[in-house]
Homo-oligomer: A and B are copies of this chain.
Amino acid sequence: MKSEETLFSLYEEERKFRDLHLHLDMTRGKPCPEQLQLSEAMASLPLPFDHKTEEGTDLRNYGNPYGLIEAKRLMGSLVHVTDTDRIFILGNSSLETMFSVINHAYIRGFLGDKPWKDLPEAKWLCPVPGYDRHFGITEYFGIKMINVPLLPTGPDMDVVEHLVSSDPSIKGIWCVPKFSNPSGYVYSDETVRRMAALRPAAKDFRVFWDNAYFVHDLEEPFIEIPEILSLADQAGNPNMVIEFLSTSKITFPGSGISAILSSKENLEDFSSSIKIETIGFDKMNQMRHVLFLKDREHTLEHMRKHAEILRPKFELVAKILRESLADFASWTSPKGGYFVALHVEGCAKEIIAHCRELGVNFTKEGAAFPYGVDIENSTIRIAPTLPSLDELKTAMEVLCCVTKIETLKHRGLAK
């Protein structure tokens, strides 16, 4: 990109986009209608004639607040956890479960430890870039968030180990171990092992293992990360890890089921708050999921259908970025999950604003960072799943055109 002529053609292209009066939403990682269609049969699935669960509960009535054993078995099988005593099945939002667990620690304290509301300070490690809604929760509780670099192998474990072992006010870390949001990185086996073997200064330090994209691979063979709960047991940390799963992007966002996996002791402790908070979760929806997804094998088969729909979208994003931005930016190439992270030269905010002006909305700048502050002003989250291929192509072309213009401006080569 060297000449005045090129710059002229970029502005030409930009004007053409402007004239299209676009309205494209690339802000959130939503499944597309074709994906939702894959679970259509589940929506009106007839429930068992006698409405009884294996344990004799009437699905339709009160009772069984910690979930159906059938659903525990299904969700556990997907991450190789067989002990159903270590699993609760809850409502439709795993985010709500994470909020509840922190709320429990804040008001009651973990396992008899001091409630976090009574501490002079509580801190939290946030691998960045990360998930805005995670940071929203910790910010809500006034927990001080500390950025930790997220490498392609996961959080920088040298930093994590040092901080966690030296500062007892550090109470947790947000982790999305497989296809992290937004980078799409998968934690290496070594990272998982080191995470499970941390020696925290705080007894009530917890690893929040948000395995949001645990079976959301785009390519075969599906990636397996080590099962962290048993590793933590072996490392003498039976209560340190809390894993979260949900079917929001397997079946229906908003109408899925979620699971929490941890030690039996942690779950019992947490239940002292759950039983005050709610009368129970939707067991009929749990049973719908059991009947529809059946078991590990059927669920993976179902996820392959999601992959077939999503793979062309991720390939298109990669192709357009490669062809357009090689001299301007870098980006991640995830093999699953819902996002691609684009890293630009200190002008992310300007690019996002410029795209918005052209009718293409990306997630707000800084969203992938605690307190919304991307100090390098460099990360843009691309969410390729919701738009059609045509819309995605247009949105990516706008993004690339604008990225080139704004980067040239940033370099002092354009105005």
Show the binding face of A for B, using Cβ within 8 Å.
28, 30-31, 33, 36, 39, 43-47, 51, 58, 60-63, 91-93, 95-96, 99, 103, 106-107, 117, 133, 136-137, 140-141, 248, 252-255, 273, 275-285
Return the chain B residue nearest A246 by Cβ: B279
CA distance A245 to B244 in the complex (A): 30
Known pairs A44-B45, A107-B141, A276-B137; A62 contacts B253 (CB<8 A): yes
Q: Kindly provide the distance from the CB of A358 to the nearest chain B CB, expressed in whole angstroms.
A: 23
On whether the beta carbons of B107 and A140 are closer than 8 Å, the reply is yes
| Tally of this chain's copies | 2
**A136 near B276: Cβ-Cβ < 8 Å:** yes
Q: By DSSP majority rule, is chain A's interface helix, strand, loop, or mixed?
A: loop
Contact check, B276 vs A254: say whether CB atoms are below 8 A apart.
Answer: no
Neighbour of A254 across the interface among B43, B95, B279, CB < 8 A:
B279
Provide the residues of chain B in CB contact with A47, threshold 8 Å.
Answer: 43-44
- Bound complex: CA A46 to CA B43 (Å): 7
Identify which of B92, B136, B275 contacts A282 (C-beta below 8 A): B92
In whole angstroms, how far apart are the Cα atoms of A347 and B197 in the complex?
Answer: 56
A404 to B: closest C-beta gap in Å? 32
Most-contacted residue by chain B among A36, A136, A282 (CB, 10 A): A282
Residues of B with C-beta under 8 A to A254: 60-63, 279-284
**Is B61's CB under 8 angstroms from A278's CB?**
no
B96 near A277 (CB under 8 angstroms)?
A: yes
* In the complex, chain B residues whose CB is within 8 Å of the CB of A107: 106, 140-141
User: CA A141 – CA B107 in complex, angstroms?
Assistant: 8
Q: Are A276 and B44 in contact (CB under 8 A)?
A: no
Structural contact, B284 and A252, CB atoms closer than 8 A: yes
Q: Which residues of B contact A284 (CB under 8 A)?
A: 43, 252, 254-255
Q: Are B279 and A95 in contact (CB under 8 A)?
A: yes
Q: Which residues of B contact A30 (CB under 8 A)?
A: 61-63
> With the chains together, A51 CA to B255 CA distance in Å?
13
Question: In the complex, which residue of chain B has the Cβ closest to the Cβ of A97?
Answer: B278
Most buried by B among A28, A46, A62, A275: A62
Residues of B within 8 A of A103 (CB): 103
**Contact across chains for A58 and B36 when beta carbons are under 8 A apart:** yes
* In contact, B60 and A252 (Cβ under 8 angstroms): yes
CA distance A140 to B47 in the complex (A): 36
When the two chains form the complex, which single residue of B96, B99, B117 contacts A117, counting CB atoms closer than 8 Å? B117
